[in-house]
Amino acid sequence: MMIQEVRVITKAGIPDSKGEEILYEISHALGINTVQKVRTARVFRFEGIGASDAALLAERLLAESVFQDFSVNSPVINDATIVLEVAYKPGVMNPEAASIVKSAADLGVAGLLAADSSWEYGFYGENITGADIERITSSLLVNATVEYVVREKPKTLIIQGKPGRTEVIPVRQMSDTELIELSRDKLFLNLEEMQVIKDYFRRIGRDPTDCEIETIAQTWSEHCGHKTFKARLIVDGKEKTPLLKRLKNATEESNHPLVLSAFVDNSGVMEFYDGQAICGKVETHNSPSAIEPYGGAMTGSGGVFRDIVGTGRGAKTLASTDMFCFARPDTPDEDIPAGCLHPHYLLRRVVAGVRDYGNRMGIPTNNGSVHFHRDFRAKPTVIVGAYGILPAELCRKGRPRAGDLVIALGGRTGRDGIHGATFSSGEMTDRTIDVNSSAVQIGHPIEEKRTFDAILVARDEGLIRAITDCGAGGFASAVGEMGSEVGARIALDRAPLKYPGLSPWEIMESESQERMVLAVDPEHAGRLMEICRGYNVEATVLGEFTGDKCFSATYEGQVVMNLEMEFLHNGLPQRVMNAAWRPACFAEPEAVPAADWEDLYCRVMGHLNVCSKEPIVRLYDHGVQGTSALPPFSGINGDGPNDAAIMAPILGKPYGMVISHGLNPVLNMIDPYHGSLWAAAEAVSNAIASGVNPRDLMLMDNFIWPFPDEELLGALDLAVDACVDFVRGTGMPFISGKDSLSSTYRGKDGTVIKIPPILCISAFGRVPDVSRTVSADFKKTGTKIVLAGYRNTAEMAGSVYYDLLGHIGNNLPKLSPTALMHVFEAVYGAINSGKLLACHDISEGGVAAALAEMCFGGDMGAQVIIPEGELAENFLFNETAGCFLAEIPADSNPSDIFGDIPCQVIGKTTDRKVIAAEQSGKTLFETRLDRLRAAWRQPMKEVFRQ
């Protein structure tokens, strides 16, 4: 039976939103003006049914008759200059196709063997050239990693194939050169590690299978094994405690009464209220996002959502966050290294991936930031986080027992994601986008939502002994880690596959998304299967936990893997690494008085690291689940940014959960110790400014670093020391974290690009009553504006103001964690007493940016008096974290409210929609609020059309 084709197109006269978006990209991102119009159509193909059934599906399922037309086996774009079709490559996860097959069965359409979907594009314009279409295709429409241009109609939609046989790798006879060649591109292990593997198999008297060598490689990858963070570190000739142990020790020493689980599970857990606990996890998805930003970002979000559900014995995911670092969207094409994607495309597609995954699952994305620096032009930083809630009695990591069943549930296994863990542990090169294309996946959020719902029912019925997700390494990591103390045996041929032809090692290592692994008592298996059927979730018994302390796997009765758990998890040799940070020396700009204050203020507000990110935020649903107590934006016109997100996760209760974060890519280039303190202070300040008790906050770290040579390892050493000192100075513990140490690009022409070292600190915690929090927008005219906190306005290095002058500088803000804690407690006390009308922390753009944002939210002006003796530029644009602008009643005394911390009245709110500043009785500037707002909004409006 022939393949049936259905095409669905927007009716004539109704805007084609996708076509308009592509036309915008063609004009603005590529600068091509020959294309006058773009029309798009959805193409659906079906195998195994006739034309009448295809028409039924089109009418009942695929087309909305109010605004769409459809055709069966005939074109719908007939008058375009050029028409082309783009589809996912065979084997790439197509969530829509899987949903169509299920829906067709629900509609009673019998015999459907396979379905697929793609996009058709019609380009209109008399002067379109072949070169134009080639550039549009390669830059916008087709990511060669996962997509292709359909030149010929497929003869079949059914993917066929026979699994390759398990191969034996003769490592025992390999020379050092051969071992390194084996590791190159796929395993990412060094010579010492390859030699340890060789010695192990010599000891047990045989060579490894491909399944065994791949499983060892993913378990020992930097991504999974944290080799640098566990290494013996030699600094200035003296050995220091390993990085990870320092962080764990600091948390243990804090002895914080709210910590329930730290560094032992998929997420960190703290005590909440009424017998509940809340948890958080933040991850990076830099490598896959660099080569396929939409799929990479989607699976980043999906992965941290699964980390939450895989915590304890199952948690509900409440919220999502995203923190991104890119090169400027207007970076010239010639500055983009070979094998890399343009940052304009990366930014839009990463945002789309996070948007689509969270929105489709009904998980609010309510906190985040976007940062820009030229050195992200080769590899972006894509950080995603998730937070959840679960009963406190179920928050401890479960442990399987011998005899428990290994049950996989959720999505099927395919080739997507293979080598994800090892790939993410290596540097990026001009070959990465080709060599590692299988490491990229396309997520299926609806599959994940059904899986989560089933798990939470099973949890509440006490059916789950232990749970984890198939993250990096797939079954190899999930089953291997769960069974590390007891042993496990699985039959790989039982795993449900997306298509035939996967070799056993591919089934073991695949990182196909939306899969979870459970340890279940055999007597509970029947009920679990019943729950899964009710939620349309596929569940399969893969094997059992054995008690023999080995990890073994079979395929069609043949043993394809049998490794000792002790060797797999503890055989990795501890690295010995030298670290020596050498401070950079950046020129300081001369102090030149501003020639045009109003222009300077607008340039600061329009700087990419200050400007409004509202066009991005509005793409996310931050109100779904009905828990939002403090949204990303508030104020009279809903355009005043807030510092943190606060949610009320328990219906009918006043309890709140706060989420915030801090990072600054520039400061760690100058001084990784003080730059890292700044990130921690910023994360906490955002929460404090919203009214949160610093004693009720937990921290998480994400280190995103270039490949750590001696100097960069020295910088990492200082950054970890800063985290430890922050814990000791404030009492706030780190309870989860992640390191990603591969953000270096090496081109075949010798080009080396290292990202600025990043420490992203995330903070989350509890609030007893959300009604006692505040937003950042000014509330009344005639009130006092107070600046609170310790700062040295001469410390300007790394500021936006310096960047506008073309400098970085060396004298960055230097913070004292102990002094910060005094400020945090004073500001919290002031808010909790009800004496602060508004509060906003100082970060990028300094007092000037914070003041403008508070005015935007209140839709009112402000009059500021700069103290005598202060350099006005430094006073307004200094970016010392841990300082706050607050609005207090006109008749209030700031020292009565803030106690003994530094605080001063710097001005008042006014009913004139103008921000004015004077010093020594002279007016420096009077700038209209609408001009500042326009400058602040413009950059992202140019990238994201609403």
Q: Is 512 annotated as a binding residue?
A: yes
Tokens of 112: 């459907």
Beta bridge partners of 905: 786
Q: Which residues contact residue 179 at a Cβ distance below 8 angstroms, ignoring those fewer than 6 apart?
A: 171, 191, 194, 195, 198
> Which helix (H) or strand (E) segment is 849 a member of?
helix 846-858
Please tell me the distance from the alpha carbon of residue 742 to that of residue 33, in angstroms, as a whole number.
39
* Helix spans in 578-651 (H): 597-605, 614-617
* Active-site choice (28, 226, 285, 569): 285
Please tell me the distance from the alpha carbon of residue 253 to that of residue 263, in angstroms, as a whole number.
14
Q: How many CB atoms lie within 10 A of CB 590?
A: 7
* Active-site choice (223, 419, 444, 661): 223
Q: Is 306 annotated as a binding residue?
A: yes
Q: Is 740 annotated as a binding residue?
A: yes
Give all strands (DSSP E) within 608-655, no chain letters.
628-630, 633-634, 640-641, 645-647
Going from the C-alpha of 80 to that of each of 44, 77, 84, 151, the distances in angstroms are: 20, 7, 10, 17
Please tell me the distance from the alpha carbon of residue 395 to that of residue 306, in angstroms, as a whole number.
15
Rg (CA), the chain: 28
Q: Per this entry, what is the length of the chain? A: 946
Residue 285 annotated in active site: yes
Q: Are strands 488-491 and 550-555 parallel, antiparallel or unpaired?
A: parallel
Tokens of 834: 């009800």
Q: Which residues contact residue 808 at a Cβ distance below 8 angstroms, ignoring those fewer than 6 apart?
A: 586, 587, 666, 669, 670, 797, 798, 802
Q: Which residues contact residue 71 at a Cβ distance below 8 angstroms, ignoring those fewer than 6 apart?
A: 6, 7
Q: Is 737 annotated as a binding residue?
A: yes
Beta bridge partners of 701: 737, 761
Tokens of 875: 């006073």
Please tell me the distance from the alpha carbon of residue 698 to that of residue 693, in angstroms, as a whole number.
11
Beta bridge partners of 120: 41, 85
Q: Which residues contact residue 234 at a Cβ distance below 8 angstroms, ignoring those fewer than 6 apart?
A: 240, 576, 577, 578, 579
Q: Helix, strand or coil for residue 896?
A: helix
Please tell me the distance from the alpha carbon of residue 786 to that of residue 813, in angstroms, as a whole number.
20
Tokens of 590: 């001369």
Residue 419 annotated in active site: no
DSSP one-letter string for 541-592:
EEEEE-SSSEEEEEETTEEEEEEEHHHHHH-SPPPEEEE-------PPPP--
Going from the C-alpha of 90 to that of each of 46, 323, 332, 504, 520, the distances in angstroms are: 15, 32, 34, 20, 35
∠890-834-319 over CA atoms, to 5°?
125
Tokens of 545: 């936990």
Please tell me the distance from the alpha carbon of residue 847 to that of residue 46, in angstroms, as a whole number.
60
Please answer whether residues 136 and 124 qualify as being in contact, where contact means their C-beta atoms are separated by less than 8 angstroms. Answer: no
Q: Is 511 annotated as a binding residue?
A: yes
Please tell me the distance from the alpha carbon of residue 402 to that of residue 895, in angstroms, as a whole number.
64
462: left (phi over 0), alpha (psi -120 to 50) or beta: left
Q: Is 441 annotated as a binding residue?
A: yes
Range 813-831 burial, b when 16+ CB lie within 10 A, else e:
bebebeebbbbbbbbbebb
Tokens of 792: 């040295």
Please tell me the distance from the alpha carbon of residue 226 to that of residue 871, in angstroms, as a whole number.
46
Residues with catalytic function: 223, 285
Binding-site residue positions for Mg(2+) = 283, 307, 469
Binding-site residue positions = 281, 283, 306-307, 441, 469, 511-513, 701, 737, 740
Binding-site residue positions for ATP = 281, 701, 737
Binding-site residue positions for substrate = 306, 441, 511-513, 740
